[in-house]
A and B are shown apart, each in its own frame.
Chain A
Amino acid sequence: MFYKELNQLKTVIVIFILVFFALSLTMMAFKPMYDDLVKLYSKSASELSSTSMEAMAESMKDIAKVPEGVSENVWFVATQWNGKNFGQFIPLMALIFALPMICREREKKTLSILLSRVSRKNIITVKYLAGLSSLLFVILIGNITGPLAMNLFGYGTNLFGGMYAFLNQTVAGTFVFSLFFLISVISGEILKPMILGIIAVIAVPIISVFSWASFLNIYEYLSGIKTLLMFGSESVYTAVLLVLSAMSFLLSLTIFEREEF
């Protein structure tokens, strides 16, 4: 059954990998401009004299400052690729991988093929694992395409330098995927939850700007930057996200086992 699920996901996986490879190549056009900006910020900070402007310039220096032990090229990949491009796609990918898993089969009335041959527990478990592993595989590849593009353009970068970012994105990806998988189990059709999902993907980061909803902000996980700055300091929040993911899966399983077809 795992083979069947991967077979149905393979086109989406290939499309995402091609898109990310193309995007990472496009990103390289901004590398010289990025280098110039970093130099400009550093220079501005040292030249400004007024107190308030000095404070602002200090924060600018912090932004531009590359953490110790991290090369400028890896930093460029982390901020410009993971932070501004690739990371943003993860909730959308989770939506596209998770949502059709159950509700498309329900809509097309093909669930009886599986239900008559496989236990409900296996159906949910295999579908969840197949979808999640596909998502994480694409995230992993996405973390390699950035450094790969750098090397192709002559900026020597460790191909696996983004693996800390991958860990963060795995947490965020698992969380978002699990929520959309639960919606897939509950929903009877694909179109409405897909539209609502896209709205949620856009709306949640906007809402999380407000302090009362700041806990919804998983952007730092999605961008993968957090690991480079303060790896391990948000372990409770990470644990909460993983527990919520597990709860979503268990709830999906419970609902599916009780459902009538």
Chain B
Amino acid sequence: MNTALEIKNLKKNYRKNIDVLKGISLSVQEGTTHALLGPNGAGKTTLLKCVMDFVRYSGDIRAFSKKPGDIKERIAYVSEEKALYRNMSVIKFLKICERISPAFNMGRAAEYISNFSIPVNKKISTLSTGQCTTLSMISGLSQDADLFLFDEPTHGMDPVSRVMMMDKIRERIIDGKTVFYTSHIIPEVEQTADSVSIIHGGQILFSGLIDDIKEKYSIVYINSECLKEFDRIPLISKYNERGAIALLVENVELYKIADQSIVIQKITPSLEDFFMALIRGMTNVL
């Protein structure tokens, strides 16, 4: 499988030397959906802005082995703000999109507009937040691009529209396209994405297939006095939870502990458990 997006040692700092991204490396395979998860201020939006060349950065970013700025027609991007010309009607906005970008597919846009029941003749300023998000996503999804970058694609949408939107995103994957998006909604990511990167404080804490999380990792709860038993194995994360110590470990490492009876409880983590364990480990230092 070819790589659609390759990011190597990406660093970004704003004024006053605030490091937003601290040497990020990740890759997204062609024909897959890759989600970028992280708490507020983790650097998700900045990372997408770097890919789109909206901000200066150091490091290397390649989309289909080329600089993203050189292949804009192959990349569709929907920003966090869901940028729209709010003084225009929906139909006018779509016509403008068609005029601006030769890759815009008006037929597909019309189909989406119908699916989501967006009133075409209404002024965008009169639409609800959810409808604005939907329209902004439609403007992105209707491009005949190969790589789709979405920043919080379902933000502000109702649950029904959200499910529909994720279905539309999946349809593009079936068409062989690649989607890289940021999200806060972990169950949605679990259902839609093939792989995930978890970012915190400008660093990637994990990047890999979602299916691997359940297969390869465990969260174990132990008493604090047993912690030294785990000194010999690498811990991915450790934090306090309900009076016990919670440890996120690789299963292959866990089996190296001779006395398994010290484990009070062992769970196979969902994506949400895994995410929470990683973030808590970073913020709740023992």
Contacts and interface: CB of A to CB of B under 8 A. Distances in A.
Interface of A: 1, 3-4, 7-8, 108-119, 258, 260-261
Given A1-B100, A7-B96, A116 B52 contact: yes
B270 interface: no
Contacts of A114: 100
Given A115-B53, A260-B56, 8 more contacts: A1-B100, A3-B96, A110-B83, A112-B77, A113-B84, A116-B52, A118-B72, A119-B72
Given A260-B55, A260-B56, A261-B49, A113 B100 contact: yes
A77 to B, nearest CB: 37
A115 B85 contact: no
Given A1-B99, A108-B86, A117 B72 contact: yes
Range, interface on chain B: 20 to 34
A232 to B, nearest CB: 42
Interface of B: 49, 52-56, 69, 72-73, 75-77, 79, 81, 83-86, 92, 96-97, 99-101, 139
Given A114-B100, A116-B75, A260 B83 contact: no
Nearest to A108: B86
B216 to A, nearest CB: 36
Contacts of B76: 116
Contact of A3 (B49, B99, B139): B99
Contacts of A119: 69, 72
Contacts of A260: 54-56
Given A108-B86, A112-B77, A118 B100 contact: yes
A8 B95 CA distance: 13
A4 B56 contact: no
A119 B83 CA distance: 17
Contacts of A118: 72, 100-101
Nearest to A112: B79
A117 B100 contact: yes
Contact of A117 (B54, B86, B101): B101
A112 B140 CA distance: 12
Contact of B54 (A4, A115, A258): A115
B100 A109 contact: no
B85 A116 contact: no
A159 to B, nearest CB: 34
A112 B72 contact: no
- Report the 6 A-B pairs with minimum CB-CB distance, sorted nearest first: A116-B77, A112-B79, A260-B55, A117-B101, A261-B54, A109-B81
A111 B52 CA distance: 12
Contact of B81 (A1, A7, A112, A258): A112
Contacts of B56: 258, 260
A109 B99 contact: no
A112 B81 CA distance: 9
A112 B99 contact: no
Residue in A4, A110, A115, A117 with the greatest tally of chain B CB atoms within 10 Å: A117
B100 A112 contact: no
Contacts of B83: 109-113
A261 B50 CA distance: 10
19 contacts: A3-B99, A7-B92, A8-B85, A109-B79, A109-B81, A110-B83, A111-B83, A112-B77, A113-B84, A113-B100, A114-B100, A115-B52, A115-B53, A116-B52, A116-B72, A117-B101, A260-B54, A261-B54, A261-B55
Nearest to B98: A3
A114 B79 CA distance: 11
A118 B69 CA distance: 9
A113 B52 CA distance: 11
Contacts of B84: 110, 113
Nearest to A117: B101
A111 B85 CA distance: 10
